């Protein structure tokens, strides 16, 4: 196996607060996939800040993934085609949908993901590996 690419993103949570304040749920719907939206809404209902930190980490993870695969936010990469969900162990995993899923399969890519958050900053790191 060899490394195809590495991506990282560091994000000030204030940016997400401001975007959410301006656009509300529409902002979350633009960034998050269906499975992520369920988790976001559940967390946001219990504690607004936890929901916004979840949204911020997923935003950063998608930016990091786009860098790791070398596409940026250009087709077939887009916000909703990559979701970051946790395995039962808690390990973050990537769930892809079309057209990005087919593109990554054609390159035989798998991913390693790390995300972390603090009150005012989040960071995501993605390694794209050729299987």
**Tell me, what's the pLDDT at 1?**
80
110 Cβ neighbours under 8 A, 6+ residues apart: 128, 129, 131
Please report, for the domain that includes residue 66, its CATH number. Answer: 3.90.470.20
**Tell me, what's the pLDDT at 71?**
95
For CA atoms 113, 73, 44, 87, give the dihedral sign: negative
Output DSSP code: residue 94.
E
Annotated binding-site positions for Mg(2+): 9, 63
- Estimate the share of the chain in helix, then strand, then coil, as percent rounded to the nearest 5: 45, 30, 20
pTM of the complete model: 0.96
The partner residues of 111 in beta bridges, in order of sequence, read: 128
- Range of the structural domain that residue 125 is part of: 2-130
- How many domains does the structure of the chain reveal? 1
**Mean pLDDT across the chain:** 97
With beta carbons less than 8 A apart as the criterion, state whether 35 and 95 touch.
yes
Per-residue pLDDT tens digits for 78-94: 999 999 999 999 999 99
- The torsion region of residue 69 among left (phi > 0), alpha (psi -120 to 50) and beta comes to alpha
Annotated binding-site positions: 9, 63
Per-residue pLDDT tens digits for 19-59: 999 999 999 999 999 999 999 999 999 999 999 999 999 99
């Amino acid at each position: 196996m060899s490394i195809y690419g590495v991506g990282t993103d560091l994000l000030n949570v204030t940016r997400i607060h401001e975007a959410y304040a301006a656009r509300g749920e529409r902002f979350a719907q633009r960034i998050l996939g269906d499975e992520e939206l369920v988790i976001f809404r559940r967390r946001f209902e219990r504690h607004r800040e936890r929901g916004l930190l979840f949204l911020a980490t997923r935003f950063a993870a998608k930016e990091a993934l786009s860098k790791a695969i070398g596409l940026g936010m250009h087709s077939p990469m887009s916000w909703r085609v990559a979701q970051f969900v946790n395995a039962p162990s808690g390990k973050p995993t990537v769930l892809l949908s079309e057209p990005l899923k087919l593109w990554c399969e054609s390159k035989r890519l798998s991913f390693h993901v790390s995300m972390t958050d603090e009150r005012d900053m989040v960071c995501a790191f993605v390694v794209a590996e050729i299987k």
